[in-house]
Chains A and B, each alone.
Chain A
Amino acid sequence: MIDPQYIRNFSIVAHIDHGKSTLADRLLEFTYTLSRGKMVEQFLDMMDLERERGVTIKAKAVRLLYDAEDGKRYVLNLIDTPGHVDFTYEVSRSLAACEGVLLVVDAVQGVEAQTIANALLATENGLEIIPVLNKIDLPSADPERVKREIEEGLGIDAREALLVSAKTGEGVKEVLETIVDKIPQPSGDLKSPLRALIFDSYYDPYRGVIVFVRMVDGVIKAGMQIRTMATSQLAEVEEVGIFRPKMELTSELSAGEVGYLITGIRDIAQTQVGDTITDARNPAETRLSGYREPKPMVFCGLYPVDGGEYENLREALVKLKLNDPSFIYEPETSHALGFGFRCGFLGLFHMEIVKERLEREYDLELVVTAPNVACRVVGKDGLSFFVRNPSDFPSPGRAQKIEEPYVSAVILTPPDFIGAVMELCQERRGEFKDMKYLSENRVEIHYHLPLGEILLDFFNQLKSRTRGYGSLDYEHIGYRESDLVKLDILIGGQPVDAFSCTVDRDKAYSRGRSLVDRLKGVIPRQLFEVPVQAAIGSKVIARETIKARRKDVLAKCYGGDVTRKRKLLERQKMGRKRMKQIGKVEIPQEAFLAVLRVDEKR
């Protein structure tokens, strides 16, 4: 049992690319948790996908042992958090397990939108915030300016901000000392009945569900009967332990500690992240707070290209859901695509990650329909209901009122791009709220925007219009009335429900035109002519024609190489198989993705 006096639980939060993972690596190295030789670069980013994308998806916890200047040995639990706007929810869960955070800010780039969002989350959770200026080894680092930005933008005292280069290791010791000094020891009662917060979980095919917990009260050890307080699942603890950074068995975990536990639970749905674990024989009275229901805001249809893969897709979704409780799914059928699922995600980026994991880890080929938001429709009868799928959208004149979700968006940019940012927001039906200078070269712009307008290519546009300097964060602010219409796409005269979307009435024409153009570009010629049309109700507003295929013939059967010929033909056949047959038309997967991009011709 460790005296809570010597425990510090903390997270590192930062805007993407500000050096969070590198700093984590240095802390591990400095405390001999991981030696440089053994170091897989950026150990905490475990999944391939994360490494490729350079972001972390799953929070992990690692125990560091640090012999401080005061001669005492401290247990520092580093809880890693994801670094993207879509994962605000996951960050909040991890923060609920901490008493303090290192707020890492790039000493060159300065405060960014996620820096602000993360600082706010930390403040809301009542955490001690230690500002850390990273990358001070770079010649263009400007710590004084960045300190001012922190003070003005975040209202945090940055006079004692730590100056660090995670790359060279400079200032890392000071970081550890400050953690010991400034971050409060965990509160909690060893003698109270067990309460442990599930802040993350992970499905391991061999071990079952591995649950990451922050111990709040009491003690947990193998053999105990436990109960999850929200979902009331009973289970026996098989193993408890910590990550250093490899899994290490311990005899118990006590109040204040962070670690993992394995129970007999293999079924995903039984360990709700955010739930509280208690002793089944001596239960606590109240659940821990700090958990909020993840609210998916972005929806899309996921369909297997091959209808026979439906069952596999379902199983994969069930498994993924364990590692990622923030997305939801329910079966749906599409006239065009057959059986599939309507899935809800925290955002577009989140959707991309889930899709890629399904394809990569579960070897599924998927068709993804254009993302949309859930609209609230008030019918003529006054009853309101939510529409998550554009195909369910009421036909013109059948609804009294339609509302769509709005977000309050904060965009940070150098002043040079204020015009470009405002133009983008106006194009996306934004409502200007406020603007303030954080420093002479950093402006915070505040807009209210329909979430649906952010879904389609907003972030890429922001990046390209601000030469990569702009950053974005947003939070949901509820529903507002809008003049939305359903835009249908007809291919070969047949409406393809998977392409339907809801758009602002004023934008329907330009959107219809750009969709039709795009589809013409990505749908290959067929054996016959195929019209592609955009329509509102029964009114066609844009049309293009894909000409019939005319030539598809192989050259010389060269020197009798039938094998090569056969391979070419097989490849061609496979290519066709990977397309989705809709009516008589074969539509490639790219077509469904092409709909995700909006042409902004300006």
Chain B
Amino acid sequence: MSDIKWLPDGQKTFDKVMAAVPEAMRDAIKPKLLQMLAGKAAGQPVSGDLVKTWVKEDLPEPQRSALMAALGMKSDGDQKPAAPAAAAAGWQGNAEVMFERMLQEVPDMMREVFRGKLMGIANEKAKGGPITEDHILSIVKEIVPDPFKTTILKAFATMGGVDLSNLEKLIESTPGGQETVIGLLHAVQAEFGYCPREAVVMISQRKGVPMATMYRLLTCYSAFRLEKPGKHVVTVCTSTGAYVNGGGALLRQIREKIAATGANITLETARDLGCANAAPAIMVDGEIFSGVKAQAKLEQIFSESN
């Protein structure tokens, strides 16, 4: 370790710098920082001001800004007014939630500094308008380094937004036009449980099928759901065979129970589940039940979904 002669306030200031380094890295990084600082001091005793100058002039971003803030130094905003820590013209869609999610990846100590800086950039991108999801996305893609970028983008994908990367690949590997649409919609529904608008728009654009046509296809074929299903999907077999064996009463019973309890269950019917030997049968999340087992399964999902 290089020799450093400390002035009391120099030592104190440096300790503050060290405190701002995340604990896990502190030991590893300390010798390196001391070495840098010794180089800066060039044999002179180290004062508080010297440490501050070193931080300001020699450290790389984003550590520089964070440490300047930790040491109570004014940021380079000396010339420019400090970036406002609020959206100048409000948010649009999920933009605010996404912005906060992005900040979660920043260590606590530095978060407020980053907030100001990133808000400034976002406001700049918005050009006086509200900040949109696209603005936040472009900040993450352009500015945030990996692995944080990957983590944040992944988090965005599961935030109620829709991750279309699988569909994108599938569309690319499916040559053809409109004749491929029903197959693609089946794939979308298998992945998401329904056909989200974003996915339908993507198919519409890539396959050159107008949205009006897409909507008509989605509604003339009964296989497709336009809304996110509940926690469980119950499909009651409404074949004629099931009907004469009491399937109608079973359907009514489940429908009334869902209405009465407000359970988060999607109820559907199928013309024939193909198991007349088990009529009246129900399918719960893809698995077929009949008789006593069906009643037991229904009780279980109702107790889960309240």
Genuine A/B complex: no
Interface residues of A (CB under 8 A from B): none
Interface residues of B (CB under 8 A from A): none
